[in-house]
C-alpha cells in the first residue's frame, strides 16, 4: 500500500512532461507571443484568448472522468471571452466575469448533465474557465498601460519557465526547478534594469522582478488546483499557470506605479 501511495501524483505540485519536444515548443511559444506583442494589441489578445479557451476546455475534460459536471465547451467559452475582453479594458473584463458567472448558473440548471448538481457544475465550470481567462487577460491589460510593461511580464515569465523546466525536469525534488526559474528571473531583471526598460525607472524593475520570482511558483501550484491532479494532461493550463497569480497582481502594480509617475 505504501508503494502504491508513493506513486500517486501529488495534488499540488509542479510536474514536468519530458516526452516530446517541449523545449522547442516552449521556444516557439515565446516567439509567437513576442511576435504578437509587436504586431499589436489585436494579435496579443487573439493568442492569449485562444490559449485560455483551450485551457478551459482541457481542464473541464480532465474533471469529467471523475464524475464532476464541468461543462467543457462553456469553460472554453468563458476562458476565451474573459481573455478577449481585455482588449477593451478592465471594465470589459469585469463585465465578462459577471456574464460568465450568470451564464454558468443558467447553463447548470438547463443542461441535463448538470441539473442533478447545478451548483457543483457552476463551481467546476468557473474553476476551469474563469481563472485561466484572467491570466490570459493580464498581458493585454499590461499592454494597454505600456508595451514595455507587457514585454517585461512576458519575458520574466518565459525565463522562469525555461529555467524551471530545464532544471526541474531532471531533478528528483520539487525545489530545484523553481529555484532555477527564480535565478533566471534575477539575471534577466538585472539585465533589463541595466538597459532602463521603459516604463520602469530607477530600481522599480528589480521590485517587479522580485514580484515575478515570488508569484510564478505560486501560479504553478494554482494551476494544479484547477486540475484534478498535478499531472493531468492540460497543456493550455500549464502554458498559462505562471500568470494565474502574477498576471493580475502585475497589472494592478503597473497601474499603481504609472499613476505615481
Q: What is the pLDDT of residue 10?
A: 65
pTM of the model: 0.91
Gyration radius of the chain's alpha carbons:
18
User: Residue 2: what pLDDT?
Assistant: 42
Closest CA to 40 of 147, 133, 154, 148: 147
Question: Given this model, what pLDDT does residue 109 score?
Answer: 85
The residue among 72, 215, 89, 84 whose CA lies nearest residue 141 is 89
| 90-112 CB burial, b ≥16 within 10 A, e <16 | eebbeebbeebeebbbebbeeee
Give the pLDDT score at 6.
44
Q: Any idea of the CA torsion for 33, 37, 41, 43, to the nearest 10 degrees?
A: -40
What's the average pLDDT block by block, 10 residues per block, for the chain (261 residues)? 48 70 84 95 98 97 89 96 97 97 90 75 94 98 95 95 89 87 93 84 91 96 92 91 97 88 50
Which pLDDT belongs to residue 208? Answer: 95
Contact in structure between 26 and 186 (CB atoms under 8 Å): no
Amino acid at each position: 500500500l505504501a508503494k502504491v501511495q508513493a506513486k500517486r501524483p501529488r495534488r499540488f505540485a509542479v510536474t514536468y512532461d519530458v516526452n516530446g519536444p517541449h523545449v522547442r515548443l516552449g521556444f516557439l511559444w515565446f516567439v509567437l507571443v513576442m511576435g504578437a506583442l509587436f504586431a499589436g494589441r489585436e494579435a496579443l489578445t487573439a493568442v492569449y484568448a485562444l490559449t485560455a479557451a483551450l485551457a478551459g476546455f482541457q481542464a473541464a475534460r480532465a474533471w469529467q472522468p471523475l464524475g464532476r459536471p464541468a461543462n467543457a465547451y462553456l469553460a472554453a467559452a468563458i476562458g476565451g471571452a474573459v481573455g478577449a475582453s481585455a482588449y477593451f479594458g478592465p471594465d470589459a473584463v469585469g463585465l465578462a466575469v459577471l456574464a460568465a458567472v450568470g451564464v454558468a448558473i443558467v447553463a447548470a440548471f438547463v443542461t441535463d448533465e448538470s441539473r442533478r448538481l447545478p451548483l457543483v457544475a457552476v463551481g467546476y465550470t468557473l474553476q476551469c474557465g474563469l481563472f485561466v481567462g484572467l491570466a490570459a487577460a493580464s498581458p493585454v491589460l499590461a499592454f494597454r498601460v505600456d508595451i514595455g510593461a507587457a514585454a517585461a511580464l512576458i519575458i520574466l515569465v518565459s525565463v522562469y519557465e525555461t529555467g524551471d523546466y530545464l532544471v526541474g525536469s531532471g531533478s528528483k525534488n520539487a525545489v530545484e526547478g523553481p529555484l532555477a526559474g527564480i535565478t533566471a528571473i534575477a539575471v534577466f531583471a538585472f539585465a533589463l534594469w541595466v538597459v532602463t526598460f521603459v516604463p520602469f525607472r530607477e530600481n522599480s524593475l528589480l521590485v517587479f522582478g522580485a514580484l515575478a520570482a515570488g508569484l510564478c511558483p505560486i501560479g504553478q501550484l494554482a494551476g494544479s488546483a484547477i486540475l484534478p491532479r498535478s499531472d493531468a494532461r492540460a497543456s493550455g493550463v500549464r502554458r498559462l499557470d505562471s500568470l494565474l497569480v502574477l498576471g493580475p497582481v502585475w497589472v494592478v502594480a503597473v497601474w499603481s506605479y504609472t499613476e505615481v509617475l
